[in-house]
Amino acid sequence: MTPRKGERPPVPEPLPAPVVDAHTHLDACGAKDAADVSTMLDRAESAGVDRVITVADDLASARWAAEASTWDSRVFAAVAIHPTRTAEFTDADKAEIERLAQQPRVVAVGETGLDYYWDYSPPAAQHEAFRWHIDLAKRVGKPLMIHDRDAHADILKVLTEEGAPETVVFHCFSGDLEFAKACVERGFVLSFAGPVTFRNAAPLREAAAFTPADQLLVETDAPFLTPHPFRGRPNEPYCAAYTLRDLAALRGDDVAELASAVSGTADRVFRLRTVTSDLPNGEGLR
C-alpha cells in the first residue's frame, strides 16, 4: 500500500552514533506541552537524534521555545523574530526577545536574516531587524542563527558592515559551492536540511560535499523540508537521521564518524555541554 502524503515517514534504524538536530520547530510539529515534547524526543532518540534546538519565528513561539527547553534535557531553544514577521517590530518585542535570549537554555539568537522570496515584510524592516539581532547576539554572547532566502549577497554585506558575531550559523544553507566557500572562509557554520538530499539539488549537494566537518551541522527545519525519499510528507526531528546518512554517502564519510563530528560541532557552536537548567536543581528536566 502506498503511504498517504500526510503520514510521517517511518522511523529509521538508529544511527551508529547520536546526532543533534540543529534547527527544528517542535511547536509547528504539533507539540503543545511537556508530554508532547517528550514523545517527540523519544521518537527522535530511537533514531539516534539525541538532542534538538527548537527555534522561534515570532514572539509567541519564542516564549514557547524558551519554556519548552526547560521541560526536557534533550531540548534547547533559539529565539528571534523571523524576517518575514518584522513589518512591525516594536521596542516591547525587542525587550522581550532580549530577555528570553539571556535564559540559560536558549543557546542562539535566531532565526533572523533576510527573506526576499516572500513579501510579508518590507526589505527595510528586515534589514533593521537583522542588524538589531546581530547586535543582540554579540551582547548576549550567543551564536547568530541566520535565515537566508534569495539574499546571499546582502546577508554577507550586512554581516560585514555590522561585524559578525563570534559564531554565525546559516540555517538550512541554500547556497552553491562558491557561496559555501565564502561562508567557510569567514568561519561561518553551515547547517544542511532535507533539501541537500534532493536529487535535483546538485549545486547544494556540491556545497555540502565541500564543507569541512567542523563547520557542518544537520537539521530538519521540521515540520518542513522532509528529506528524500519522503519529500512532501510531515517532517520531525528523527528525520535528521535520513539526512545524516545521505550526507555521509555524498561525502564518502563513515556514518558514525560524520555523526560524531556533527554532534561535536553542535556541542562547540552552541556550547550544549555547558548548558544547565534555569530551574532549581534541574527540576522539570527529563
25 annotated to a ligand binding site: yes
Q: In whole angstroms, give the CA distance from residue 143 to residue 192.
A: 17
147 is in an annotated binding site: yes
What 198-203 contacts at long range (C-beta under 8 Å, 24+ apart), as own/partner pairs, is 198/228, 198/231, 199/228, 203/175, 203/176, 203/177
Q: What are phi and psi of 59, to 5 degrees?
A: -70, -45
- 82 labelled as ligand-binding? no
Contacts of residue 220, defined as CB under 8 A and 6 or more positions apart, other chains included, come to 21, 23, 24, 193, 194, 226, 235, 236, 237, 239, 240, 243
127 labelled binding-site residue = no
Neighbour-count burial for 100-116, b at 16+ CB within 10 Å, e otherwise: bbbbebbbbbbbbbbbe
Q: Which residue(s) pair with 106 in the sheet?
A: 77
23 is in an annotated binding site: yes
Q: Which amino acid appears at position 120 of this protein?
A: Y
**In contact, 144 and 164? CB cutoff 8 Å:** yes
**Has 221 been labeled as part of a binding site?**
yes
Give the annotated binding-site residues.
23, 25, 111, 147, 171, 221
Annotated binding site for a divalent metal cation: 23, 25, 111, 147, 171, 221
